[in-house]
Chains A and B, each alone.
Chain A
Amino acid sequence: MDAYGYQRALDWATALGAPLLTQNGVQPPYTPAACRNANFNSSGILEDLWGITDAEGMRHLAERMWAGMHNPGFQDMRVKLSGMTLAQRKAYVESRREMERYAELYTVHLYMDRLPPAGIAAWDLGRLAFYLRCARLEGYIGEEEEEICLLHTAVRARYSYRSWPDYAVAYMAGRQFWAGDLSEELSEINVGILRGPLADESTPWRELEWEIELPEPPSLPWESMTGN
């Protein structure tokens, strides 16, 4: 792959983190410089949310998110519900209204038929793309490691969904699942986050086609370190 194609692939991978980048005031294209200009608290985000203060922590988070953080919970509920007809499922979910985790169950019920087998992996992968950028801004990982991790993330996303809107649906379904919030208000907030990436005139989501060619991701740096 030539340098232009490689750069496009990297831009594509970075754009997976568009929702969180947008929420933190980063304007497209989502270059490291644009991220610095947005002046968000990347170290605080990593440390407060994940306790990450170094490369090791970031790598561990990447492994966890590739394996799936919230998605396994979603998929677990999904297969449990999948034996039911729509009518049975609706009645069953309704019968759990007063139970704990009802909102999660309802979210699964709402989206399970529309999402591809990957479920809400987009929610894990999209966040990871953003956290990788945070880690790079903080100097926990270098440019090369960020790129490798982004490409690993990109490959997972690229073959799990069919388009940016499909990816966006899965990402936000994941966000609703995580928040346990079925309100119209949150739904409006969520779509507000996506408005820029999806509908602005020039954003990576509109300029980079989903079916982009991705290079074979190089092996992960820490794997080769372990191998040595």
Chain B
Amino acid sequence: MGIWQILGIAPTSDSRAIKRAYAALLKKTHPEDDPEGFQRLREAYGEALEQAKTLESQARADAHSVGGSANDAAASNGEHDAERLPAWGEANRLAQRRRVTRTNDEQGSPAHPGPTDMPASVSEQPVDVLDPDGLIRLFEELYNDYAQRIQVEKWNELLEYEQLQNFSFKQEVQPKVLAFLSEHPHLPLPVWQKLDQIFYWTDDEVGLAKLVPPDFAAFVLNSIRQPAALRFEYLPFGKDFLHDEFLSLRARGAALLGNGRLREAMEQFDTAYILFHRDPDLLRLRATTLHLLGEDLRAEEDWKALVAAFPNERDALLRLADRFLETERAAEALDLIQRALDLLPNDPQALLGLARCLRELERFGEARQVCDLALLLEPSDIELRIRLLDLQAMQVGQLLEVLKRYPGDRDSRFAAGELLFELERYADCERLLTEAPMYGSTSEMKTLLGRVWIILGREEEGARCLDQAVDLSSSSSQNAYYAWLHRGLYRTGCEQWSAAEKDLKTAQTLFSGENVIIWAALADCAIGQHHHKEALELISRTLSLKPEGVHYGKRAIIRYRLGQYEDALADFERASTNRSIHPDWLWMKGLCELQTRRYDEALKSLEHARNFGDSPIVRVALCELYLRKSRYAEALAEAEKATEVDGKLLLLQGWAYRKLGRSHEARGTFMRAAEVTPDDPEILRFALDELAASGEASALDYADRILALEPEDTETQMRRISVLFEHGRAAEAESAISELLNRPSIEPFYPPLHYYIGAMLVEKDEYESAMPHLRRAYDAGLRGDVTSLLSIALFEIGLTEEALQLARAAYEENPSHPDYKSRLEKMEGRSSIPSSLRQLMRSPSRRESWPFSMKLRPIRIEPRDVRPYEMEGWNR
């Protein structure tokens, strides 16, 4: 018996007819009474649904009509060509059916085996043990019942099925799930996301692409990530409704809209509208498309229908209000805007609409207040500012009319003047404030006039006027806040920090509440007076009320000055959230990055900052960075650009010369640095090192200056000693060594110093004392005189063999040295005498006379390899 015979209907593509027939037969065929008959019915039902889809596809293809399946839903993500219909869904299904048929033929088993042949709802299914096909059948049942399909929890229940935790089961079922989705794509977003949690498609896009064609893989990924998910719950649940057809049309229309194909999108929406006209998403999409097509009259109808059926659809309320405003129905618009604001208070878009309504209703003052509030919430909104400007211009017109009739109305005069000031119509403002002197001036009017004069370049008169305003307010009962505030702000601008601070603090006492302008200006005063901690507190308070980029920038500067570099960087980051950072701050940001060892970022920031102008501090920092990156030529080029004389920069320049092997220029530059900064021992040392390394007597001057500043500086003393010896000033050298020997310890260990001490002790015949010093110098790698003198010390204390060995080594190393030769000869001549006897023979009158001359071979100490920018005090 064929499937259609079992179902008792003719072959059809109408799945509803199949469902109806199946439902009617189910009432007569109970699984317990007739398990075989029930099984046949289930199989026939499943197969009939499959065939119905094929028939439907063919019919659609024949009729070139649109609709259905993943192709349409794929289009809804807006990133596919809506006309490209991936045929994988159908092809896969047919192939699967062929496989199933073949399997049935081979095994003689039913087409859809499994324990899930219950026609009840999914929640009633026994799901303890399922095979992949059984799971898919449960999916299909859930999908086919629209009321259940849109219940996310039903899918969650099914997808939490234990076997789906099993890797091999998941591997097996995954292709089937994908095949199912290609046929049943209209699922709520959370269901897609749940499937993704199980199969990790978004985490493994490559794996997904191996399983399905690229178009379908893209569709799956976009279905999971779709930012514009449409709602499913407003469609009728009845089985007679063509859910998938409607959803396909809607999805296809949305995709066409996203691709800017508005007319085609409209066709889809209009067809969907015929099927069902109360879907809020369809109405919204259609109205949006109509608006973009300039068909606002039709759009209005959809927005109205939407607002009527769904009074809480905020989008519709706002769009319809826009439409009313454009068509001079401000009162109606106002009602809608207020409803939208009830749903989401302080929404800047709604506030802008409200301001526009109020303006149209000529409630200018309120409109300005609303604009001001909206600007606090959305400071970058240019429309708000333009509308505000427009409002100000209108209000001025109104006030000027009032003044024509009542010229003595000082409040109106001041209000009009302030508006003109804000509109930057300064000449008009001045005229207004001075044209009717017989009515007198208030303190506020005088303040405003002072401000205008200052802007018009009459600064002296302006400043005087501000003083008069303060005096006037103090001597009368007029509001003094305005006068004190503006004089304080003016003085801040003039960098009269202390006076400004006083005025601003007075203004603060006259103002009830928190005042961002005052706090920000007081912060400026504190910065100007180097009261950085106070400035930090003030600007933080400002930010708590008005988190603007400019205030974050200011706080960053304060934090930079307080050495809070990480925090400063975070503030610079905030300050530049909406735009590239202010050029004036860029160099400070670069320095913060330098301080926090973010060298690459620092280099980028500072090179950028350099484009905005020449700055010594930027140059020093850039030079340092180039040196850190071993870009010596660039460092040198940067330093050579300097027109200013800066000790630090000269030091870096000298270092660049040294690294480039230009030692002569390095020495000259270090000496210039020392001249520029005569009291900085760290800079003086660079000059000393260069001079001492070439044995120049002028090194002694630098050494003395350093030692005067830092008497405990052993290394400088050591270089001094070496130069003293070289220039025959042995007595001074010895005195210096004696002073060093009196110290509890001579640290750090400098081999040359031990050499000099040893040499001096040898000269005094104190061989035993000399030996350990010379030994340390020798062990540290010093040779020549060290080797030779050590040999003498060793010889004299009886270590003859080692002494001879060293004496020979010294001679072989430098055969032309007359002392080394004669010392060796002397030792060799006496080495036959036992050492004990030699000791006995020694007396002051019979003291050995060793050839001894320190001047012949002085030790020159190499300059220290200390990078200037690594010095402890570099960042002071």
Known: A91-B227, A181-B579, A199-B393. A83 touches B254 (CB 8 A): yes
Interface contact B386-A176, CB-CB below 8 Å: no
- Complex Cα distance, B389 from A117, in Å, reads 24
Contacts of A169 in B (CB 8 A): 382-383, 386
Cβ of B378 under 8 Å from chain A:
yes
**Which A residues are CB-close (under 8 A) to B836?**
none
Q: Is B257 an interface residue (CB 8 A)?
A: yes
- Contact of A117 with B383 in the complex, beta carbons under 8 Å: no
> In chain B between 227 and 257, which residues have their CB closer than 8 angstroms to a CB of chain A?
227-229, 254, 257
B400 to chain A: closest residue by CB = A201
Give the interface segment out of B150-158, B285-293, B555-563.
B285-293
B114 within 8 A of A: no
Tell me the A180-228 residues at the B interface (CB within 8 Å).
181-188, 190-192, 194-196, 198-201, 206
A114 on interface, CB distance cutoff 8 Å: yes
CB distance from B323 to the nearest CB of A (A): 11
A187 touches B385 (CB 8 A): yes
Does B614 belong to the interface (CB within 8 Å)? no
Q: Which residues of B contact A103 (CB under 8 A)?
A: 578-579
Is A41 part of the contact surface with B, judged by Cβ < 8 Å? no
A111 to B258, CA, bound (A): 17
Would A187 and B381 count as touching, CB distance under 8 A? yes
Residue of B nearest to A85 (CB): B315
Q: Is B387 an interface residue (CB 8 A)?
A: yes
User: Which listed residue (A78, A84, A168, A194) contacts B228, Cβ 8 A?
Assistant: A84
Q: Is there contact, CB below 8 Å, between A83 and B293?
A: no
Residues of chain A contacted by B162 (CB below 8 angstroms): none
Q: Which residues of A lie under 8 Å from residue B292 when comparing CB positions? A: 78-79, 82, 117
Instruction: Find chain A residues with CB under 8 A from B578 CB.
Output: 103, 181-184
Asked if A56 is at the interface (CB within 8 A of a chain B CB), the reply is no
Q: Which residues of A contact B389 (CB under 8 A)?
A: 191, 194-195, 198-199
CA distance A209 to B78 in the complex (A): 41
Establish whether residues A195 and B423, one from each chain, have CB atoms under 8 Å apart when the complex forms.
yes
Chain A residues with CB under 8 Å of B262's CB are 79
Within residues 601 to 633 of chain B, which ones have a CB less than 8 A from any CB in chain A? Answer: none
Expressed in whole angstroms, the Cα–Cα distance for A185 and B582 within the complex equals 10
In the complex, which residues 376-410 of chain B have their Cβ closer than 8 Å to any Cβ of chain A?
378-383, 385-387, 389-390, 392-393, 396
Is B118 an interface residue when CB atoms closer than 8 A count as contact?
Answer: no
Contact mask for chain A residues 84-120; partner B; CB cutoff 8 A; 1 contact, 0 none? 1111110110010000000100000011011011000
- In the docked arrangement, what's the CA distance between A23 and B254, Å? 42
Secondary structure type dominating chain B contacts: helix
Whether A186 touches B383, Cβ cut-off 8 Å, given contacts A83-B228, A83-B254, A84-B228, is no
Given contacts A182-B579, A199-B425, contact A173 B385 (CB under 8 A): no
| Cβ–Cβ contact A186 & B315, under 8 A | no
* Distance in Å: Cβ of A207 to nearest Cβ of chain B: 13
Whether A117 and B293, one on each chain, are in contact in the complex, defined by CB atoms closer than 8 angstroms, is yes
Please name all residues of chain B whose beta carbon is closer than 8 Å to the beta carbon of A87 when the two chains form the complex: 314
Query: Residue B425 contacts which of A79, A190, A200, A206 (CB distance < 8 angstroms)?
Result: A200
Contacts of A114 in B (CB 8 A): 322, 352, 383
From 130 to 167 in chain A, residues with beta carbon under 8 angstroms from any chain B beta carbon are 162, 165
Q: Which residues of B contact A88 (CB under 8 A)?
A: 227-229
Cβ contact within 8 Å between B257 and A82: yes
Chain A residues near B381 (CB-CB < 8 A)? 110, 187
> A110 is contacted by which of B260, B293, B294, B380 (Cβ under 8 Å)?
B380
Q: Is there an interface contact between B379 and A184, defined as CB atoms closer than 8 Å?
A: yes
Contacts of A200 in B (CB 8 A): 423, 425
Chain A nearest CB, measured from B90 CB (Å): 27
Are B424 and A111 in contact, with the CB atoms below 8 A?
no
* Nearest residue, chain A, Cβ from B76: A83
Task: State how many angstroms separate the Cβ of A72 from the closest Cβ of chain B.
Answer: 10
Report B163 CB to chain A, min CB distance, Å.
Answer: 34
Q: Does B319 contact A (CB under 8 A)?
A: yes
The answer to whether B386 and A79 have CB atoms under 8 Å apart is no
* A residues near B380, Cβ cutoff 8 Å: 110, 176, 182-184, 186-187
Mask: chain B, 252-278; 1 = CB below 8 Å from A; 0 = not? 001001111010000000000000000
Shortest C-beta distance, A157 to chain B (Å), equals 15
- A164's nearest neighbour on chain B, judged by CB, is B390
Residues of the B chain whose Cβ atoms lie less than 8 Å from the Cβ of A91: 227
Name B317-340 residues within 8 Å CB distance of A.
318-319, 322, 326
Q: Return B367 CB to nearest CB of chain A, in Å.
A: 13
A185 contact from B288, B326, B549, Cβ within 8 A: B549
B254, A184: Cβ atoms under 8 Å? Answer: no
Nearest CB of A to B458, in Å: 21
Q: Is there a chain A Cβ closer than 8 Å to B284's Cβ?
A: yes
Contact residue among A184, A194, A195, A201 (Cβ-Cβ distance under 8 Å from B548): A184
In the bound complex, CA of A84 to CA of B389 (Å) = 32
**What is the size, in residues, of chain A's interface with B at 8 Å between Cβ atoms?**
50
CB nearest neighbor in A for B259: A79
A83 touches B579 (CB 8 A): no
Could you tell me the distance between the alpha carbons of A172 and B580 in the complex, rounded to whole angstroms?
18
> Do A84 and B227 form a contact, CB below 8 Å, given A183-B380, A199-B392?
yes
Residue contact B383 to A111, C-beta cutoff 8 Å: yes
CA distance A56 to B318 in the complex (A): 46
Chain B residues with CB under 8 A of A85:
228, 284, 315
Which residues 272-312 of B sit at the A interface, judged by CB distance below 8 A?
Answer: 284-285, 288-289, 291-294
Chain B residues with Cβ below 8 Å from A165 are 386-387, 390
CA distance A32 to B564 in the complex (A): 55
Asked if B550 CB lies within 8 Å of chain A CBs, one says yes
The distance from the CB of B556 to the nearest CB of chain A, in whole angstroms, is 15
Bitwise interface map of A from 13 to 50 toward B, beta carbon under 8 Å scored 1, else 0: 00000000000000000000000000000000000000
Is residue B495 contacting chain A, with contact meaning CB distance below 8 A?
no
Residue of A nearest to B314 (CB): A86
In the assembly, what is the distance between CA of A158 and CA of B110, in Å? 72
Measured between beta carbons, the chain A residues less than 8 angstroms from B579 are 103, 181-183, 185-186
CA distance A201 to B549 in the complex (A): 33
Using CB atoms, name the residue of chain B closest to A97.
B577
B386 touches A172 (CB 8 A): yes
Q: Which residues of A contact B229 (CB under 8 A)?
A: 88
Interface assignment of A75: CB less than 8 Å from any CB of chain B? yes
Report if A113-B260 is in contact (Cβ < 8 Å); known contacts: A84-B227, A184-B550, A187-B380: no
The answer to whether A60 has its CB under 8 Å from any CB of chain B is no
Contacts of A162 in B (CB 8 A): 326
Decide if A76 is an interface residue (CB 8 Å cutoff). Answer: yes
Given the interface pairs A76-B260, A85-B284, A169-B386, the reply to whether A117 lies near B548 with Cβ below 8 Å is: no
Q: Determine if B315 and A86 form an interchain contact, defined as CB atoms under 8 angstroms apart.
A: yes
Q: Are B259 and A191 neighbours in the complex by a CB distance under 8 Å?
A: no
- Closest approach, in angstroms, between the C-beta of B66 and any C-beta of chain A? 18
Which of A117, A173, A206 lies in contact with B382, CB distance below 8 A?
A: A173
- Asked, given contacts A165-B390, A183-B549, A184-B549, whether A173 binds B259 with beta carbons under 8 Å apart, the answer is no
Residue in A75, A199, A201 whose Cβ sees the most chain B Cβ within 10 Å: A199
Residue B83 interfacial (CB < 8 Å): no
B640 at the interface (CB under 8 A from A): no
Residues of B within 8 A of A201 (CB): 425, 428
B349 at the interface (CB under 8 A from A): yes
Chain B residue at minimal CB-CB distance from A167: B386
Q: A184-B549, A195-B423 are in contact. Are A83 and B257 (CB under 8 A)?
A: yes
Nearest first, the 9 closest Cβ-Cβ pairs linking A and B are A182-B578, A184-B379, A183-B579, A92-B227, A191-B385, A84-B228, A199-B393, A172-B382, A182-B380
Would you give 8 A-B contacts (Cβ < 8 Å), ordered by A? A79-B260, A82-B257, A82-B289, A184-B549, A185-B579, A186-B579, A194-B389, A198-B389
Instruction: Supply 17 further A-B pairs (C-beta < 8 A) apart from A79-B292, A183-B379.
Output: A79-B257, A79-B258, A86-B314, A86-B318, A92-B227, A103-B579, A111-B383, A113-B319, A117-B293, A172-B386, A184-B548, A186-B380, A187-B382, A191-B382, A192-B424, A195-B389, A199-B396
**Residues of A near any B CB (own CB < 8 A):** 75-76, 78-80, 82-89, 91-92, 95, 103, 110-111, 113-114, 116-117, 162, 165, 168-169, 172-173, 175-176, 181-188, 190-192, 194-196, 198-201, 206
